[in-house]
Amino acid sequence: MRADILLAAPQGWTLAEVKSSGAVKAHHPTDVAIQRWVIDGMREGSGLRIARTELWRVDTDWTYRGDGRYDGLLVRELPGDGAVIAYNAQFERGVIERLADVCPELASALRGIAGRLFDLLPVVRAHYYHPDMRGSRSIKAVLPTIGTGLRYDELDEVQDGTAAQAAYLEAVAKGTGTARRGELDAALRIWIPAILE
């Protein structure tokens, strides 16, 4: 078995399965899951740590302009069904709904995601407590206690959503130099998997 795309990141590799269809089909998530299962099973011999698994598809509206650039040809896809796991889904749902309001071309897909959110916060409240949480159920208190090896206070420049927004805005600003943009990119790439795992 060969992976379509393996992208290196500080926390591990991103495995991307690319489908040459314009839409996600019911069997595509299973294909990705099988690839991940096989690669995880080979990890001891290969040392390959998969941090993320993604499904990509071809954008059938994309047109090649003859300039040697293929940006936009592949679309990272979230399957159209199944749960989208969140922590404090009420907050996440509100953010997604506001995004849908300001991005009408994505509103249907965004509202579909909002409707599929599964909230882990009530599960933690009802079934999990560790003394190191010190009475808090915030994700920053819970993560270090569940053996993930993740601690927000060990992250460098980007440690929370506010810092992530500031880093993004600085990175896309016209006056930001290449070296600084690279630093911000690296910090965001460390923070994003930390909040998703």
pLDDT at 197: 43
CA atoms of 180 and 192, how far apart (whole Å): 18
CA atoms of 145 and 56, how far apart (whole Å): 33
Radius of gyration over every alpha carbon of the chain, rounded to an integer in angstroms: 19
CA atoms of 10 and 191, how far apart (whole Å): 10
pLDDT at 137: 85
Average pLDDT, consecutive stretches of 10 residues, N- to C-terminus, the chain (197 residues): 78 82 78 79 68 83 85 75 82 89 83 88 88 84 69 65 79 87 80 52
**Phi-psi sector, 175: left (phi>0), alpha (psi -120 to 50), beta:** alpha
- For residue 182 the two structure tokens come to 């690279």
pLDDT at 196: 46
pLDDT at 153: 61
Name the residue with tokens 């907050």: 91
